[in-house]
Amino acid sequence: MEQKNRKNRNKTGIGLLCIMLLLVILTGCGASDTKEALKDGSYTVYVKLLGGTGKASVASPASVSVEDGQAYAQIVFSSKHYDYMLVDGVKYMDESVEDEEENSTFTIPIDGLDCELDIVADTTAMSVPHEIEYHLIFRQEEEELAGAEKEYEAGQEPDDREASADRKETVKEADGGIDFTTLKKTGGVSLLYATQFQIEEYGVYKMITIGDERFLLVPDGEEAVANLPADVTMLRQPKKAYVVSTSVMDLLQAVDALDDVRLSGTKQEDWYIQAAKDAMADGDMLYAGKYNQPDYEKIISENCDLAIENTMILHNPEVKEKLEALGIPVLVERSSYETHPLGRLEWIRLYGVLFGKEEQADAFYQEQVAKVEPIMKKDATDQTMAFFYVTSNGSVNVRKPGDYIAKMIQLAGGSYLPQAVKEDDENALSTMNMQMEDFYAQAKDADILIYNSTIEGELDSVDTLLAKSPLFADFKAVKEGKVYCTTADFFQETTGIASFIEDLHAVMTGDTSHELKYLKEVK
């Protein structure tokens, strides 16, 4: 299994790590050996930009000013589409004046006049902003530039690549497939709202990072990659995925990737997503047991190649470990940790990458963002809204103020009640229980009440709500007849986030022309 391979690699890796360290110390950034104390003043230095597609370049020579011994170089790109640069993790903004159509200019610190460094520049030239990795070479003598360039092209020094603290480098001969160590990072997907995942590009391969886990995606038809670092799992484009999370399924069907899903963690009758229901009815998708007690036999007999689990699996780590032991990579999606609703939705781009439907995913996402952004730009209304349900033992379950639903309400122009009771954002929980009296005190003047129908089903009438507690009769929203409940399919249909925001906005502004999709009026 892959685990065994990785174990073998580990053993040789540790031994050779020492040699690597030695090399790192010796080669380093060349300037460190030859660094002399620079005198303050202005200098002229020749600079070359390497990497990316090769079409971009940087004006040479460039001016360098030294203040207090620290050198700063002014870099002017050949295009005006770069909005920021990343050097050593620090962001530098474009200094050019937009109206005058100047090329993107940045002032960055450098280690002396003869130096090389890796940078990242974000280009807005394409439809979606894109980060590209480049390599800059500075030399005082122009002739040295060419030589330095050749050296760089020839031998990629390992220390130039980002070294993450716990990655164990290995140099063992590749046994089938492309050696990972020969791959260069060529860019990355820049995300608009999502914070819980990252995608970096290594040529055709994509490095997906979620939390502590990394996956290298090998698209259809490409060669496998060997010599991966220990924490990276190789992933071929999945054709028979096991999807546990209902919200993921909805995103997948939006990018038309359901054909690549073979196993589901939800029974047919529990699906609201019609496409999933149909697939199960047709036998294209099979039920493989609950997430905490999956039917391992079925999973491996169907040759499942990827399991997409949600954070609930962290309570049952043995299931994840068992699946991995059986050779099935497990991707734990953390969309529930996203605080911005559009961030949650942006995970569709990850699935787009995973299933080779990047274009569709990006297009869909833009569409949704386009729906929401106009609303976001509008002025906030003065409407207050509460989103809750009553639990079986009489307390009220509300969203925490940092939760994505609360965010959606804010984006739609309203404010969420109850207000921050005690903000402990470190907690990954998104809901909390409160006493009925507290809820009454905080939300009785809410303009609009929205009842969460996921647990018990939709509310038929306001009387049902009053039956739960007579206090509800006192609520302003009840008196004014502005009580709504979510539809049963709301939580499963993650793609409907934008529509939901539209619904919220319509309800807040009293726009009766908009047909509500995920909210129902409760009379």
Partner 1 sequence: MKAGRKRYILSFLLIFILLGLVIWWNICSGSISLTGEQIRQILLGDQGNGTAYNIIWEIRLPRILAALLLGGALSVSGFLLQTFFGNPIAGPYVLGISSGAKLVVAITMIAFLGKGITLSSWGMVAAAFLGSLLAMGFVLLVSVRVHDMSMLVVCGIMIGYICSAITDFCVTFADDSNIVNLHNWSLGSFSGMTWQSVRLMAVLVLLGVCVSFLLAKPISAYQMGEAYARNMGVRIGLLRVLLILLSSILSACVTAFAGPISFVGIAVPHLVKTLTKTAKPLLLIPGCFLGGAVITLFCDGIARTVFAPTEISISSVTAVLLVPVVLVMMLKKRRGSL
Residues 324-363, interacting with partner 1 (CB under 8 A):
325-327, 337
Q: Does 287 bind partner 1 (CB under 8 A)?
A: yes
Looking at the Cβ atoms of 5 and 140, the one nearer to partner 1 is 5
Neighbour-count burial of 124, counting CB atoms closer than 10 A to its CB (0-12 exposed, 13-18 middle, 19+ buried)? middle
For residues 22 and 15, what is the distance between their CA atoms, to the nearest angstrom?
12
Looking at the Cβ atoms of 395 and 464, the one nearer to partner 1 is 395
Contacts of 323 (CB under 8 A, 6+ apart): 294, 296, 299, 307, 330
For residues 521 and 451, what is the distance between their CA atoms, to the nearest angstrom?
10
Q: Containing H/E element for 142?
A: helix 142-154
Looking at the Cβ atoms of 82 and 490, the one nearer to partner 1 is 490
Q: How far is the CB of 271 from partner 1 (least distance, A)?
A: 16
Looking at the Cβ atoms of 68 and 212, the one nearer to partner 1 is 212
Q: How far is the CB of 443 from partner 1 (least distance, A)?
A: 20
For residues 244 and 315, what is the distance between their CA atoms, to the nearest angstrom?
14
Q: Containing H/E element for 286?
A: strand 286-287
Q: How far is the CB of 324 from partner 1 (least distance, A)?
A: 10
Q: What are phi and psi of 234, to 5 degrees?
A: -80, 140
The tokens describing 321, both together, are 């470990």
Stretch binding partner 1 (CB under 8 A), from 89-97, 137-145, 169-177, 296-304: 296-304
> Which one of residues 160, 295, 438, 458 is an interface residue with partner 1 (CB under 8 A)?
295
Q: What are phi and psi of 236, to 5 degrees?
A: -85, 155
Bridge partners, 107 (sequence order): 74
Q: Does 321 bind partner 1 (CB under 8 A)?
A: yes
> Which one of residues 318, 359, 437, 511 is an interface residue with partner 1 (CB under 8 A)?
318
Q: Does 207 bind partner 1 (CB under 8 A)?
A: no
Q: Does 426 bind partner 1 (CB under 8 A)?
A: yes
Q: How far is the CB of 421 from partner 1 (least distance, A)?
A: 13
Residue with token string 């060349």: 30
Q: Does 162 bind partner 1 (CB under 8 A)?
A: no
For residues 402 and 37, what is the distance between their CA atoms, to the nearest angstrom?
50
Q: How far is the CB of 187 from partner 1 (least distance, A)?
A: 29
Q: Does 322 bind partner 1 (CB under 8 A)?
A: yes
Stretch binding partner 1 (CB under 8 A), from 182-190, 321-329, 484-492, 514-522: 321-329
**Whole-angstrom distance between the N-terminal and C-terminal Cα of the chain?**
59
Kindly tell me the number of DSSP H helices and DSSP E strands found in the chain: 15, 27
Q: Does 292 bind partner 1 (CB under 8 A)?
A: yes
What angle separates helix 404-411 from helix 358-377, to the nearest 10 degrees? 60
Q: Does 239 bind partner 1 (CB under 8 A)?
A: no
Grouping H, G, I as helix, E, B as strand and the rest as coil, residue 48 is strand
Q: How far is the CB of 263 from partner 1 (least distance, A)?
A: 10
Looking at the Cβ atoms of 159 and 295, the one nearer to partner 1 is 295
Q: How far is the CB of 364 from partner 1 (least distance, A)?
A: 29
Q: Residues binding partner 1: what is the number (CB under 8 A)?
A: 36
Task: Find out whether 138 and 73 touch, Cβ atoms under 8 Å.
Answer: yes
Residue with token string 């002017």: 76
The tokens describing 440, both together, are 């009454």
> Which one of residues 51, 289, 352, 413 is an interface residue with partner 1 (CB under 8 A)?
289
For residues 313 and 265, what is the distance between their CA atoms, to the nearest angstrom?
12
Q: How far is the CB of 299 from partner 1 (least distance, A)?
A: 9
Stretch binding partner 1 (CB under 8 A), from 97-105, 180-188, 272-280, 282-290: 282-290
Q: How far is the CB of 522 from partner 1 (least distance, A)?
A: 23
Bridge partners, 45 (sequence order): 62
Q: Select from 207, 147, 157, 219 the least CA-distant residue to 182.
A: 157
Looking at the Cβ atoms of 351 and 389, the one nearer to partner 1 is 389
The tokens describing 394, both together, are 């009489």
Looking at the Cβ atoms of 335 and 383, the one nearer to partner 1 is 335
Query: Given its phi and psi angles, is residue 226 left (phi above 0), alpha (psi -120 to 50 degrees) or beta?
Result: beta
Stretch binding partner 1 (CB under 8 A), from 36-44, 289-297, 377-385, 505-513: 289-297
Looking at the Cβ atoms of 144 and 231, the one nearer to partner 1 is 231
Q: Give residues in contact with partner 1 (CB under 8 A).
A: 212, 287-290, 292-298, 300-301, 303, 312, 314-319, 321-322, 325-327, 337, 397, 426-431, 433
